Amino acid sequence: MLDSYANVLVTGGAGFIGRHLARALLSLGKGVTVLDNLSTGSQGELPEGATLVRGDIRNPKEMSKAALGAELVFHVAANANGTISVQDPRFDFETNALGTFNVLDAARKADVKRFVYVSSASVYGRPERFPMDEQHPTRPFIPYGASKLTGEFQCLSFQETYGLPGVIARPFCVYGSGENPRMALVEVSRYLRWHLNHRPIQVVGHIDRKTRDFVHVEDVIQGLLLLADRAGDGEVFNIGSGEEVSMRQLTEVIGSVTSREATVREISDITEDTYRLVADISKIAPLGYSPRVSLVDGVGRLSAELGERPELPRGATIFSRGQEGEN
């Protein structure tokens, strides 16, 4: 896989998804450079063999330095926290939209052969049909989704204007080993951390009507590598499990895995994201993509890793100004 590329740049390679991706690329024998400002990760968490360039995608000079010699770029670095985008939309835009422009521009100048942009299912907004395929309308309702969608348009325009071959990935709700509890808002890790600390699981929205597509980070990495290797230029692909899981079902899985019934506190007055968000993965499947980590297996592995009394999740799920989320 990826025989055409020897040197790979991963932006955000010290973060949650980026760290797993860098490790997988190293296992394929690639030279891996990581650009990261270490705001959500640490140098000690980088896989052995990766070269760290400490810098920020918002800084064009630092970005250009990191891109020198790269043949393949995975652009993972981002503000991935929707609440932060509501509270500080300028930071979100400068990181996700302007930052993506800087990465694309550096890749163009470095004559990169392939560009993989890690976008988000948040670009879709509220679902109009189920499951969601890549042709679903894109109407994001928080700044995070809008800034990620802006990055998609920039990728497509750089391909058309400058011939920079790119592909866009839209991961759904990613969870797994190494999430930062200060930033992560995906329910799997948050719920499990509350439960392991013998605290109520705080469910934002309707516990039965709110459903999600939880995809393990290892499956996301599988999808990203396949897109870099086999996808057509300018194409967009969902990366998910293709499985629908309600918040109640998730709490039941957590209770089953830990052999202790979960206590739940439902925050029913916040309903902005009470909807069915599940990926149609039929487009990526012919490339060889097949989710391998079931939710039960993924939660079990994560529970064993976190152990007793892990760090509690921080930050609240907020969709509009002045709103209060979890306590």
Other residues' Cβ atoms within 10 Å of the Cβ of residue 162:
12
Task: Check pLDDT > 90 for residue 36.
Answer: yes
Q: Is the pTM of this model over 0.85?
A: yes
Q: Please give the pLDDT value at position 83.
A: 97
Q: Please give the pLDDT value at position 43.
A: 82
Average pLDDT of the segment spanning 220-247: 98
Tokens 């640490």 found at: 42
Of the pLDDT bands very low, low, confident and very high (cuts 50, 70, 90), residue 226 is very high
Q: Residue 239 in 3-state DSSP? A: strand
Out of 7-16, 32-41, 283-292, 300-309, which region has the weakest mean confidence (pLDDT)? 32-41
Tokens of 95: 């990181």
Average pLDDT of the segment spanning 126-149: 97
Closest by CA position to 32, among listed 53, 49, 16, 20: 49
Asked whether 204 and 270 are in contact (CB, 8 A), the reply is yes
Per-position b or e across 192-224, b if 16+ CB within 10 A of its CB: bbbbbeeeebbbbbbbeebbbbbbbbbbbbbbb
Tokens of 46: 């980088």
Q: Share the mean pLDDT of the chain.
A: 97
Average pLDDT of the segment spanning 17-28: 97
Of the pLDDT bands very low, low, confident and very high (cuts 50, 70, 90), residue 1 is confident
Average pLDDT of the segment spanning 82-89: 97
Beta strands 201-204 and 51-54 are unpaired
Domains of the chain: 7-173+215-239 (3.40.50.720), 176-213+243-277+293-306 (3.90.25.10)
Q: Residue 72 in 3-state DSSP? A: strand
Asked whether 171 and 239 are in contact (CB, 8 A), the reply is yes
Of the pLDDT bands very low, low, confident and very high (cuts 50, 70, 90), residue 225 is very high
How many CA atoms are closer than 13 Å to the CA of 217, on its beta-carbon side? 22
Task: Check pLDDT > 80 for residue 6.
Answer: yes
Q: Please give the pLDDT value at position 44.
A: 82
- Does the active-site annotation cover 144? yes
Asked whether 22 and 34 are in contact (CB, 8 A), the reply is yes
Q: Please give the pLDDT value at position 45.
A: 83
Of the pLDDT bands very low, low, confident and very high (cuts 50, 70, 90), residue 224 is very high
Average pLDDT of the segment spanning 149-163: 98
Tokens of 7: 């040197």
Please identify which of the residues 144, 175, 275, 289 carries the catalytic annotation. Answer: 144
Average pLDDT of the segment spanning 79-94: 97
Task: Check pLDDT > 80 for residue 199.
Answer: yes
Tokens of 190: 């948050």
Of the pLDDT bands very low, low, confident and very high (cuts 50, 70, 90), residue 41 is confident
Task: Check pLDDT > 80 for residue 122.
Answer: yes
Task: Check pLDDT > 80 for residue 23.
Answer: yes
Other residues' Cβ atoms within 10 Å of the Cβ of residue 157:
14
Average pLDDT of the segment spanning 148-170: 98
Extended beta strands in 162-311, E state: 166-171, 173-175, 201-204, 211-212, 214-216, 236-239, 245-246, 264-267, 276-277
Of the pLDDT bands very low, low, confident and very high (cuts 50, 70, 90), residue 58 is very high
Strand partners, 33: 9, 51
Q: Please give the pLDDT value at position 223.
A: 98
Of the pLDDT bands very low, low, confident and very high (cuts 50, 70, 90), residue 179 is very high
Q: Please give the pLDDT value at position 40.
A: 82
**What gap in Å lies between CA 55 and CA 49, rounded to an integer?**
18
Distances (CA, A) of 207 to 119, 139, 201, 210, 212: 27, 24, 11, 6, 11
Report how far Cα 285 is from the mean position of its chain's Cα atoms. 19
Other residues' Cβ atoms within 10 Å of the Cβ of residue 93:
18
